[in-house]
Chain A
Amino acid sequence: MLEVRNLKVSYGQIEALHGVSISVEEGKIVTLIGANGAGKTTLLRALSGLIPVEAGEVELHGERITKEKPHKRVARGLAHVPEGRMVFANLSIAENLEMGAYLRKDKTAIAEDLDFVYELFPRLKERISQLAGTLSGGEQQMLAIGRALLSKPQCLMLDEPSLGIAPILTRNIFDQIVEINKQRGLTILLVEQNVNLALEISSYGYVIETGNLLFDGPAEELRKDPRVLEAYMGG
């Protein structure tokens, strides 16, 4: 589904990714693991086109999208829930979701997807005309995920869905991520600080450190890997 080959990204003079290659298989949940500043967010931002790539290739469905603008990648079925959620605080919940479906014209299918989102996150439906800026962090995360789903993506990238969110809500959001993956067969690329939780729902994982890929493997194995246990799960 998503192939990344030897990706290099720089911020000015500083290279943040030194040639990272990952592969995300269709219908799977894949996790990127790494400490703060390892380059996980940078990788996602490069994949959705928010920052330019210096070298390497990004392929979605075997088509090269390395140089495409972000809005074109959305049209190709790549959705990105960015770090910090970035909901439109000045728009209502309903308007935020409508923006998610910005490129779509299939009204009945949009209505179905909207129902699906409200089913996943009933809290959103209760607050439909409220401004997104008035929501709690967890609710904003739900909205950000719902908004991304409305673009009808084939591949969904989630950046730190648990950041700054109450633990109870985190559990709920992760359950819904699994639900989305199961019900829709949606491919998911997940970046998450809570490595335990992330590996629990994933089938494969990549470990990134300071802009390099260290190692990768099936989530089951990574959970028992002493290197992962020691570095990211507090021993």
Chain B
Amino acid sequence: MDTFLQQLFNGLFLGAIYALIALGYTMVYGILRFINFAHGEVYMVGAYVAYFAASMLLPLFGAGWLAFLLLLIIAMLACALLGVGIEWTVYRPLRHRPRLTVLITAIGVSLFLQYGGQSWLGAAPRAFPTLLPKSTVSLGPVQATNLQIVVLVTTLVLMLALRFFVMKTKLGKAMRAVSHNVQAASLMGINNDRVISVTFAVGSALAAAAGVLYAINYPTINPLMGLMPGLKAFVAAVLGGIGNIPGAAVGGLVLGIVETFAGGSPLLSPYRDAIAFGLLVLLLLFKPGGLLGKATVEKV
């Protein structure tokens, strides 16, 4: 039982990272109906921004909560700009082209950031500095690190903030309106381009947060680090029902938990990635709309 709870906790921790990335996939899909495959790389850039900002800020502030929060905010802001920039320069000119064109372009942007990153930053992994000293905390039968708790709490705060933004603010409502019907939204006086920019900014900022949260726990970063989490988060977004914001959060947590349990069993652990992607295949076969989504017919 204790092992079960321990694994469940570890799964939640991994799932929180997936969920944060998955939110960006699902928000962009909800508005533009395409998968922004460059999203995993935004997560990578987030970790790198924090890394370089840390080398400038740590001598000034020293490690600690202030440094952590500052770096988190800097990475989120920088990636918000990156996301808006990618949309503006790459996706916007292709707005009225077939969706397949945009999808292939997204994969191109992803490869560009991966190998551009390798070329400019070097392929060698870098050691992410220690921002918060690691300590162990006992939560009943579960052994956690303070850093894992930081991840869970930060994720929870960001998700609640996102929920408030989407459900309660005018811009958030406009976002939902655009995702339901772009034309009708423009007839309300909503500037669709602006809403799309905001969507990319918010989604990218969340991915950046995930990148920083990952880096404080597994302190090596490299330019290809976004590939696997990006794909997993995509699976999580589809798992929860693509386009559905609570679905992305649920999908991320489910995937993190399943993967952790698979990884914890000696028999299954070599297959943990296969199990994650197998889950996607099964879901698409039996419940194509996702856990919280509803099945819709794709118009071809």
Q: A and B bound?
A: yes
> With the chains together, A82 CA to B181 CA distance in Å?
12
Q: Does residue A202 face the partner (Cβ distance < 8 Å to B)? A: no
B171-195, CB under 8 A of A: which get 1 and which 0? 0011011011101111111111000
- Contact of B192 with A71 in the complex, beta carbons under 8 Å: yes
Q: Once the chains bind, are B176 and A91 in contact (CB under 8 Å)?
A: yes
Contact A99 B173 (CB under 8 A): yes
Residues of B contacting A91 in the complex (Cβ-Cβ under 8 angstroms): 173, 176-177, 180
- CB of B62, distance to nearest CB on chain A (Å): 45
| Interface presence of A3 (CB below 8 A) | no
Question: Which partner residue on chain B sits nearest A69 by CB separation?
Answer: B186
Q: What total of A-B pairs shows CB separation below 8 Å?
A: 67
Q: How far is the CA of A98 from the CA of B176 in the complex (A)?
A: 13
Contact A88:B189 (CB < 8 A) given known A82-B184, A102-B170: no
State in angstroms the CA–CA spacing of A80 and B177 once bound together: 16
Least CB distance, A82 to chain B, in whole angstroms = 7
Given A95-B173, A98-B170, A102-B174, do A89 and B180 touch, yes or no (CB 8 Å)? yes
| Set of chain B residues within 8 Å of A201, measured between Cβ atoms | none
CA distance A65 to B183 in the complex (A): 18
Q: Is the CB of A86 within 8 A of B188?
A: no
Considering the complex, give the chain B residue whose CB is closest to the CB of A45.
B183
B183 touches A50 (CB 8 A): yes
Q: Which chain A residues in 125-153 approach chain B with CB under 8 Å?
A: 147-148, 151
Q: Are B186 and A99 in contact (CB under 8 A)?
A: no
* Complex: chain B residue closest to A90, CB-CB: B180
| A31 adjacent to chain B (CB < 8 Å) | no
The answer on a CB contact under 8 Å between B176 and A90 is yes
Q: How large is the interface on B (under 10, 10 to 19, 20 to 34, 35 or more residues)?
A: 10 to 19
Contact, CB under 8 Å: B190 / A82: no
Give, as a whole number of angstroms, the nearest-CB distance from B50 to chain A: 35
**Distance between Cα atoms of A88 and B175 in the complex (Å):** 11
Known contacts A86-B181, A90-B180; A103/B187 CB under 8 A: no
Interface of chain B, main secondary structure: helix
Q: Roughly how many angstroms separate A48 CA and B188 CA in the complex, as a whole number?
A: 11
B181 and A88 contacting across the interface, CB-CB below 8 Å: yes
Asked whether any CB of chain B lies closer than 8 Å to the CB of A74, the reply is yes
Contact status of A48 and B177, CB under 8 A, knowing A71-B192, A98-B170, A102-B170: no
CA distance A151 to B180 in the complex (A): 19
Cβ of B197 to closest chain A Cβ, rounded Å = 14
Across the interface, which residues of A come within 8 angstroms of B173, CB to CB? Answer: 91, 95, 98-99
Minimum distance in angstroms from B72 CB to a CB of chain A: 31
Residue A70 lies at the interface, judged by CB distance under 8 Å to chain B: yes
Asked if B177 contacts A99 (CB within 8 A), the reply is yes
Q: From residue 182 to 214 of chain B, which have CB atoms closer than 8 A to chain A?
A: 183-192
| A74 B176 Cβ-Cβ under 8 A | no
- B187 surroundings in chain A (CB, below 8 A): 48, 50, 70, 74, 79-80, 82, 86, 148
Residues of B within 8 A of A79 (CB): 187
Residues of A within 8 A of B174 (CB): 99, 102
Name A79's closest neighbour in chain B (CB-CB).
B187
CB distance from A188 to the nearest CB of B (A): 16
Name which of B179, B180, B187 has the most chain A CB atoms within 10 A of its CB. B187
- Please, how many angstroms separate the alpha-carbon atoms of A91 and B180 in the complex? 9
Which chain A residues lie closer than 8 Å to B191 at the CB level?
Answer: 69, 71
Chain B residues, Cβ within 8 Å of A211: none
Please, which residues of chain B bring their CB within 8 A of the CB of A82?
183-184, 187
Closest to B184 in A: A86
Chain B residues lying within 8 Å of A75, measured Cβ to Cβ, are 189
Decide if A100 is an interface residue (CB 8 Å cutoff).
yes
Beta-carbon contact of A99 and B183 below 8 Å: no
Name B194's closest neighbour in chain A (CB-CB). A71
Q: Assuming the A-B contacts A98-B173, A99-B173, A102-B174, are A147 and B183 also in contact, with contact meaning beta carbons closer than 8 angstroms in the complex?
A: no
B180 CB to nearest A CB, Å: 5
Given contacts A49-B186, A102-B188, 19 further A-B contacts (CB under 8 A): A50-B187, A70-B186, A71-B190, A71-B191, A74-B187, A74-B189, A82-B187, A88-B177, A90-B176, A90-B179, A91-B173, A91-B180, A95-B176, A99-B174, A99-B177, A102-B170, A102-B174, A102-B189, A103-B189
- 15 CB contacts below 8 A, A to B, read A50-B183, A70-B187, A71-B189, A71-B190, A71-B191, A82-B183, A90-B179, A90-B180, A91-B177, A91-B180, A99-B173, A99-B174, A99-B190, A100-B188, A102-B189
